[in-house]
Structure 1
Amino acid sequence: MKKPPIIWLNLMLFLLTFTGAAVLIPWRAWTHGIDAIEWLTFVVLAFYSGMSITAGYHRLWSHKAYKANGAVRWLYALGGALALQNSALHWSSDHRVHHKHVDDNDKDPYSANMGFWYSHIGWMLREYQAHRYHDYNNVRDLQNDPIVMWQHKHYLALVLVMNIGLPALLGWFNGDVWTMLLVAGLLRLVVVHHCTFFINSLAHIWGTQPYTDRNTARDNGVLAVLTYGEGYHNFHHIFENDYRNGIRWWHYDPTKWLIKLLSWLGMASDLRKVPQERIEAAKLQMQLKLTQQRITHRQDYEELWQTLQGEYETLKQQLLEFYQVKKELLEAKRHKLCLEELRPRFNELKSRLKLQQANWNSLNAAYR
C-alpha cells in the first residue's frame, strides 16, 4: 500500500528543532554557560505556551468547558503561536474529530491504535488525512470568534514574533540574545512539543481506566505533571466538557487551577462540571465490569454475579438518592429555607451510603 506524501515542512521543523536542541544546548552550556534568568525564562515560557494549549486550545476552544474574556483569549492566541502547534481553529478541528472518532484508524487523526510513534508525532509527518487542512465545518462556532480568526489569519507572523522576536528581546534585556534564543526559544519549543504530544500518545497507552474502557484513554498522575494536568485522560474522554481533568484537590492539574483563578478574577465564567453522581456511577459501573471479568472462570460464577449485580444496583440507587438530597439541601441553604427535615434525611443517607460502599469495596477486593 502506497504511503501518503510526506509533509516536508513539518518533518524539517521537528527534525531541525530536536537536533538543534540536542546539539546546541549542551555546546552552549559547556562553552558559555546558562544563567538562572535564562532557565527561569525557559520555565515561564514553557508554562505559558503549554497552558495556552491546554487551557486555551483544548478546554476553552475545543470543548467549550468555560468562557473567557477577550484579554484571556488574546493571551491564549499568542501563547498558542509560541507553542507552534498550528492555529487554534485547526487544532480544535482536529481535536473534535479525535473525540468523535477516538481510536478509529480511518477517522481519528491521531489514533492510538496505530502505535506510539504515529499518535505521538507520525500523524503530522504525512498527509494521512489531507482534508484536515481545509475542512473546518466542525468549528463554525470558533469562526465567529474574532480572536481565533485573527490568529488563524496571521499565524505565521505570530509564530515568528513569539518564537524568535520575544526570546531575542528578553535576551537583549538580559545581555545575551543567543543563549536566550537557544534556551527559552529552541529548547523550550522542543520540550513543550513533546510534553503536549504525550497527551495523544502515552496518555492512551500508560495508566489506568477507572471510568471507562470504551476507548484507549488512561489516567496517569505522572503524565499529568508532564502535560500541565492533562494526564487524567480517561476521565477527560468520558466527561470531555468538564473544565477539570484532575477532579480531586490533590490531583496535579495547573490548567484547572488557572481556569479557577481566572474565574475568581472575573476573567472566566460558566465553568462546567460534571455532576458528582455521574462520575461515581461511571466508576461503579467500571468496577462491576472488572470484577465480572475476574470471576468468569469460577464454577460459582452465576451465584457470584447475581450477588454483585444486587450490590451494584443497591449502591447505585443509594448514590442517586444521596446526591439528590444533597442538591436539595444546598438549594435550601442558598435560599435560607428550613433545613430541619432535610438534614436528618441527608445524614441517614450518608451513613447508609458509607456502609454500602464499604460492603461493595470488600466484595470487589475479595475477587482481585
Structure 2
Amino acid sequence: MEKTLSNQEDLGGDQGMTDDIFDESYCEKDGPKPARRYVWRNIVLMSLLHLRALYRLWLIPAAKPVTLAWGKFLCFLLSALRITMKAHRIWSHRSYKTSLPLRIFLAIANSMAFQNDICEWARDHHVHHKFSEMDADPHNATRGFFFSHVGWLLVRKHSDVIEKGRKLDMADLKADKVVMFQRRFYKLSVVAMCFLFPTLVPWCFWGESLRNSIFLPTILRYVLMLNATWLVNSAAHMFGNQPYDLNINPRENRLVPFGALGEGFHNYHHTFPYDYSTSEFGWHYNFITAFIDLMCLLGLASDCKKVSKETILAQKICSGDGSHKSG
C-alpha cells in the first residue's frame, strides 16, 4: 500500500526519529573553529585497508567467475540493502513499514555492511539531515570533499554533533527489539557476516583459494562498499543540479555508485526525506524502490510514503534551479 502525501501532510509523521525537518533555529558558534583531533587508530586502519585492497587487485584475473559474482554482486548488493533500504529508509526516516522477518534479514545485512550498528547509523544520519552542512552535521560537506568523504571518520566528532545527537528522541529505535539485539551483539555479528561468511562460502563450496576468498569478496568488496556510501556524502553534496531546492547543498548525481539504488537523487531526498523511493521516478531508475515494491507485493512491507506529483511540481517551481524544464 502506498500513501501519497500532500503539502499539508508532508510535515507530519510518527514520533521518534521521523522528524527530518532542517532545524533553522540552530546557530553555529562564533569564533575560531576548534582544532581537529585526529583519531590515529582509524587513520592507520583505513590506510592499511585501502592499500591492501588496491594491492590485491591483481588477484581478480586469477579468481573464479563465480567468486567475483559472489563478492561484487551478491555480497555487495546485500550490504547495499542495509544502507539504502533499511537503516536509511526505515530506521532513519520511517518511510514505510516492514514485517519482522524482513527487519531481521535487513539487520543481518546491516552487519555485513559494517558501517556502525543500526542505532548509531540512524542517529548520525538524522543529525545530518537536521543540521545539514553545519557544525552539527557529522560529514559537513562545506569542510571539503575529503572531509565529507572519509575525513570525518579520521577525526573526533565536532562537539555540536555529539550534543545534538544526545538530544534526539530515539525511543522508537530503543523499543525495536531487532535493533537492540543487533546493537548488543554487533561486534560478533560483524565478524560473522562481514568477514567470515563472504570468505567461507567461496572457499568451502566451490574450492576458491583462501587468499582469493579473503581479499576479493571480503576485503575488496568492503572497501568498495565504504567508498560507494561515502560518495553519497561527498559527491552527491557537491556535484550535480538542484531541481527541487537550490537553497540546500545536496545535488542530483546519478553517477555516484548508489545512483541506481536511489541514493543519487540527493536533492530530492533532502527536500522530501520521508519519501520511501528517495526520488520522484519510482522503480524505473531505482532498484531498491523496486525491491520494496516487491516486498509489499509479498506482504512483507506496507504503508509506503510517497510525495504527491502536485507537491513535487510546486516545489520545483518555487525553489528549484529550473533544470527540471530541460529534463
TM-score under structure 2 length normalisation: 0.82
Instruction: Using the TM superposition, give the Cα deviation of residue 182 of structure 1 relative to its aligned residue in structure 2, in angstroms.
Output: 1.0
Q: Name the one with the larger helix percent.
A: 1
Contact 1:195 1:227 in 2 (8 A): no
Question: Deviation string for 1:298-323 (max 9, x for gaps)?
Answer: xxxxxxxxxxxxxxxxxxxxxxxxxx
Equivalent-residue separation in structure 2 for 1:13 and 1:258 (angstroms):
34
Residue 138 of structure 1, aligned match among 169, 181, 194: 169
- Cα deviation, 1:329-351, whole Å, max 9, x if unaligned, reads xxxxxxxxxxxxxxxxxxxxxxx
Out of 200, 222, 231, the position equivalent to 1:189 is 222
Contact 1:103 1:113 in 2 (8 A): yes
Which of 88, 102, 124 is residue 153 of structure 2 equivalent to? 124
Report what 2:252 is aligned to: 219
Question: Does structure 1 residue 155 correspond to structure 2 residue 186?
Answer: yes
Which amino acid letter does the alignment assign opposite residue 8 of structure 1?
A: W
Structure 2 vs 1, CA of residues 38 and 290 (structure 1 numbering), >3 Å: closer, same or farther? closer
Equivalent residue number for residue 40 of structure 2 = 8
What is the SS of the residue equivalent to 2:233? coil
What is the distance in 2 between the residues matched to 1:14 and 1:138?
32
Contact 1:199–1:227 (8 Å) recurs in 2? no
Task: Report the AA paired with residue 51 of structure 1.
Answer: L
Question: CA, structure 1 residues 267+13, in 2 after alignment: closer, same or farther (shift >3 Å)?
Answer: farther
Post-superposition CA distance 1:194-246 (Å, at most 9, x none): 00111111001111100001210101222265562200000000100000123
Map of 1:224-239 to 2, 5 A cutoff?
Answer: 225-226=258-259, 228-239=261-272
Counterpart residue number, 1:67: 97
Letter in 1 for 2:188: A
Residue equivalent to 1:258: 291
C-alpha deviation, 1:84, in angstroms: 1.1
Partner residue, 1:279: 312
AA partner of residue 63 (structure 1): H
Counterpart selection for 1:202 from 196, 215, 235? 235
User: Structure 1 residue 168 and structure 2 residue 195: aligned?
Assistant: no
CA contact (8 A) 2:98 2:302 kept: yes
Please state how far the C-alpha of 1:249 moved relative to its aligned partner.
Answer: 4.9
Q: Which amino acid aligns with 2:194?
A: N
Give the drift of 1:25: 2.9
Letter in 1 for 2:261: Y
Q: Distance in 2 between matches of 1:224 and 1:22?
A: 18
Q: 2:144 aligns with which of 102, 109, 115?
A: 115
- C-alpha offsets along residues 22-67 of structure 1, whole Å, 9 cap, x if unaligned? 01231x346xx11111111011100110121110110010000011
Distance 1:228 1:7 in 2: 32
The one-letter code sitting in structure 2 at the alignment partner of 1:7 is V
Contact 1:224 1:253 in 2 (8 A): no
Report the CA distance between 1:255 and its aligned residue: 1.4
Are positions 1:86 and 2:116 aligned together? yes
Three-state SS of the structure 2 residue aligned to 1:218 is coil
Distance of 2:283 and 2:175 partners within structure 1: 37
Matches of 2:239 and 2:251, distance apart in 1: 6
Fraction of identical pairs, as percent: 32
Amino acid at match of 1:91: W
Instruction: Label 1:136 to 1:16 Cα distance change in 2 as closer, same or farther (>3 A).
Output: farther
Cα distance in 2 between the residues matched to 1:268 and 1:167: 27
Q: Could you tell me which residue of structure 1 aligns to residue 27 of structure 2?
A: none
Q: For residue 18 of structure 2, what is the aligned residue in structure 1?
A: none
5 Å-filtered alignment, 1:35-50, equals 35-42=64-71, 43-50=73-80
Give the equivalent residue in structure 1 for 2:275.
242
Amino acid in structure 2 at the alignment position of 1:244? S
* Superposition deviation, residue 274 in structure 1: 1.0
Structure 1 residues 2 and 275, CA gap change in structure 2 (3 angstroms):
closer
| RMSD over aligned Cα atoms | 2.2
Q: 1:4 Cα deviation (Å)?
A: 3.4
Which one is further off, 134-143 or 233-242? 134-143
Give the Cα–Cα distance (whole angstroms) in 2 for the partners of residues 247 and 223 of structure 1.
Answer: 18
1-structure distance, mates of 2:183, 2:167: 12
Number of residues of Structure 1 aligned to a counterpart in Structure 2: 288
In the alignment, is the contact (CA less than 8 A) between 1:93 and 1:136 conserved in 2?
no
Query: What is the letter of the counterpart of residue 67 of structure 1?
Result: K
**Other structure's SS at 2:227 match:** helix
C-alpha contact 2:250 2:266 (8 A) present in aligned 1: yes
Distance 1:266 1:274, change over 3 A: same
**Contact 2:141/2:148 (CA < 8 Å) preserved in 1?**
yes
Identify if the C-alpha distance between structure 1 residues 158 and 242 changes in structure 2 by more than 3 Å, giving closer, same or farther: same
Give the C-alpha shift of residue 270 in structure 1. 0.8
Name the CA distance, whole Å, in 2 between partners of 1:89 and 1:128.
Answer: 17
